[in-house]
Amino acid sequence: MAKCPKCGAEVEKPIKTWVLAPKGRKGVTIGLFKCPNGHYFRAKVE
């Protein structure tokens, strides 16, 4: 679940996800979300 930074709508599932892993660190999963109002945003996926 992620919140759109532009309109505050909550989006349940990302369109796509990928792992962001800097060298020597544990990676985090980032998701690309599209809110019901047509905004795209990226957020960390828990």
Q: In terms of CB distance, is 12 or 25 closer to Zn ion? A: 12
29 touching Zn ion, by CB under 5 A: no
Question: Of the candidates 7, 15, 21, 28, which one interacts with Zn ion according to CB under 5 A?
Answer: 7
Work out the burial of residue 2: count CB atoms within 10 Å of its CB; fewer than 13 is exposed, 13-18 middle, 19 or more buried: buried
**CA 46 – CA 44 distance, rounded (Å):** 6
35 touching Zn ion, by CB under 5 A: yes
Q: What is the DSSP letter of 32?
A: E
Residue ranges in contact with Zn ion by CB under 5 A = 4, 6-7, 9, 35, 37, 39
